[in-house]
Amino acid sequence: MRQGETSLPTDRVGAICRSLRRAIVERALTPGDRLPEDALGERFGVSRTIARQALGQLAGEGLVELRRNRIAVVASPSWEEARDTFDVRIGLERLVVQRLAGRLSAEQRAALEAHIAGEERASGGSEAASIRLATEFHLLLAEMTGSPVLGRYVAELGYRCALILSLYSRPHSADCAVSEHSEIVAALVSGDAARAVALMDHHLDAVAERARIVDEPRRERDLLRLLAPYVEG
Amino acid sequence: MRQGETSLPTDRVGAICRSLRRAIVERALTPGDRLPEDALGERFGVSRTIARQALGQLAGEGLVELRRNRIAVVASPSWEEARDTFDVRIGLERLVVQRLAGRLSAEQRAALEAHIAGEERASGGSEAASIRLATEFHLLLAEMTGSPVLGRYVAELGYRCALILSLYSRPHSADCAVSEHSEIVAALVSGDAARAVALMDHHLDAVAERARIVDEPRRERDLLRLLAPYVEG
DNA sequence: TGGGATTTGTTCGTATGTATT
DNA sequence: GAATACATACGAACAAATCCC
């Protein structure tokens, strides 16, 4: 057996999941959009079997709704589910900052500040990039706890919250103020756990606060063209 | 279309998952046990496709390890993963008791006390039943928060912790003292959130504390016979 | 080390259910 | 309301990897 060389010779299911997650976060795919197995397979160059597995996994993460004998669609959480998701997210991210306060290594601090710099740079450009980076800031924090379990749950909730905002938040609102991220990092560095928790709570509350119902008629959308920028390769 | 009548005419994948979860919690299946797709399919009367889906879902929950081109096995978390899992569980269950303190309805209180009575009744009998009921007590609490998201995560971690205890705890230790459950409920009823949190913390710490490495040579085990009591239907 | 038996990875065909004209 | 087109559910079958003697 050849050594090294990632034994998964390209995890096609995982690649599709990552592409779809990113498309959802960036709002190229929005709740209700249809995800037929063949179209996905064609777009990603795989058979229906693989597309199906990806849909199953994303359904487990709450990003996709799988109805029996029906085309899968991007999930449309109810308002209750949305509120619940945000509530639990706040609880989990509180755990994150509690673990991190006063314990950031120099490298971690640098990585966070670099990420925030990236957010600032993106804030003038496309909204898609801003939203994605804002989401990833929270995932980055969670990863730094060194707890894979916490990291996974925070990531899952982060993606779901991004989906929820694409459903309920009014258009053209910056969904995550970069300066708030900055303040959180400052509090973490200073070791003031209580302040970091308060800032994170306030930050996420503000994000959730932007969730407003805007019932916008949805035009038919072309999955294949839509997904083009998200095919890894 | 005939009305009512659960439109999922028996979710076979879900049924297999439930059976397997229960078998794992009751230690009929223990870490490292092999789960070949066709043996599962034969046992549950389904094709490999269905068995495979169930394995995929359980892998997502961390109960099964899926290695490429290899037989799936019941997961064997490392000690680090085990500790991480317990840590996050404690954090989440703290959220649960914080939400529940002073807010239990009469029905909920009755349900909890009935459950504890069941645990006491089972404490003389089979160890399997005791362990399962102890796990389910925590799931029941989480459900009562009315938060599906929190409920799902606590359930997932509860099952994983049961798995971990079957790996690391010494044999014949009661894994969950019934009286501690009782005290937690009493604190919740009294509305003393701080005390409820402290009791839950202490309780889960004590459970984790029982995790000790016991390297026991594993005999070959017959999946088909093993699983017989867990086939639903 | 080798080779046969096992087991998984994947595709694809058929049956069945859903949407649409 | 029926017929047609379309999409999914499931299982059979084949290729490739792995296991085990």
Distance in angstroms (rounded) separating the CA atoms of residues B207 and B209? 5
Return d(Cα A152, Cα A139) in angstroms, integer.
9
Nearest to A60 among B57, B88, B147 (CB): B57
Average pLDDT in chain A: 88
As a whole number of Å, the end-to-end CA separation of chain B is: 25
Q: Are A148 and B8 in contact (CB < 8 Å)? A: no
Q: How far apart are CA B189 and CA B229, in angstroms?
A: 37
**Distance from chain centroid for Cα A121:** 20
pLDDT tens for each residue of B177-219: 899 999 999 999 999 999 999 999 999 988 888 776 444 445 5
Distance of C1' in C5 from CA in A143, Å: 44
For the stretch B103-126, pLDDT in tens is 999 999 999 999 999 999 998 888
By CA distance, what is A90's nearest residue in B? B95
Rg (CA), chain B: 18
* pLDDT value at residue B4: 32
Contacts of B153 in chain A (CB under 8 A): 88, 153
Q: Which two tokens stand for residue A214?
A: 């805007």
**Average confidence (pLDDT) over A54-63:** 97
* CB-CB neighbours of A78 under 10 Å: 9
Q: State how far residue A82 is from chain B, nearest Cα, in angstroms.
A: 10
Using the predicted structure, report yes or no on whether residue A215 has a pLDDT greater than 80: no
Smallest CA-to-CA distance from B223 within B25, B36, B19 is with: B36
- Chain A's closest residue to B68, CA to CA, is A8
Note the pLDDT of residue B177: 82
In angstroms, the first-to-last Cα distance of chain A is 26
Which strand C bases fall within 7 angstroms of a protein CB?
6-13, 16-19
For chain B, domains (ranges, CATH) are 9-76+216-230 (1.10.10.10), 79-209 (1.20.120.530)
Q: What is the pLDDT of residues B16-71, one digit of tens each?
A: 999 999 999 999 999 999 999 999 999 999 999 999 999 999 999 999 999 999 99
Kindly list the residues of chain B whose beta carbon comes within 8 Å of any beta carbon in chain A.
Answer: 7-8, 53, 56-57, 60, 68, 81, 84-85, 87-88, 91-92, 95, 147-150, 153, 157
Please check whether residue A59 is in contact with residue A65, taking contact to mean a CB–CB distance below 8 angstroms: yes
Number of neighbouring beta carbons within 10 Å of residue B171: 9
Dist CA A189 CA A200 (whole Å): 14
Which nucleotide is nearest, taking the CA of residue A50 and each C1'? C10
Strand D bases with any atom < 7 A from protein Cβ: 6-13, 17-19
The pLDDT of residue A229 is above 90? no
Give the confidence band of A230 by pLDDT, cuts at 50, 70, 90. confident
In single-letter form, the type of residue at position B10 comes to: T
Residues with CB under 7 A from strand C: A 12, 46-50, 68-70; B 1, 7, 35-39, 48-49, 52, 66, 68-72
Q: Which of B17, B68, B88, B143 to mutate to test the interface with A (most CBs of A within 10 A)?
A: B88
At B225, which helix (H) or strand (E)?
A: helix B223-227
Q: Once rounded to an integer, what is the mean pLDDT over residues B67-83?
A: 94
